Amino acid sequence: MERDNLMHGARTALNQNQEMRDWCENFLKSKEREANSGMTDEEFEKHWRYHRPEIMHAGAAEAVQAYKSEKVKN
């Protein structure tokens, strides 16, 4: 249940802050690219387009936490 609450709060934050959303999307896209390094750029772009919504949903809490940590460093 706690995980669901974190995800919901993160998704709400992403929907209200475009800068955060863009940063988090790039963060998650980079992680996904590393996990699928065997794909060509064209294959990966097709993969990302298809799987982006579920990746953004599942990774929202992690991405928002990374965003906040990065902002504290800067």
State the SS3 of 10-32: HHHHHHHCHHHHHHHHHHHHHHH
Section 7-27 average pLDDT: 90
Residue-level pLDDT at 39: 97
2 — pLDDT class (breaks 50, 70, 90)? low
Q: Please tell me the distance from the alpha carbon of residue 8 to that of residue 6, in angstroms, as a whole number.
A: 5
Cβ atoms of 37 and 1 within 8 Å: the answer is: no
Q: Could you read off the pLDDT of 23-68 as tens digits, one per residue?
A: 999 999 999 999 999 999 999 999 999 999 999 999 999 999 999 9
Q: Is the pLDDT of residue 19 over 60?
A: yes
Sign of CA dihedral 57, 69, 23, 51: negative
Task: Look at residue 3 and tell me whether its pLDDT is greater than 80.
Answer: no
Structure tokens, 41: 């750029």
CB 59 within 8 A of CB 28: yes
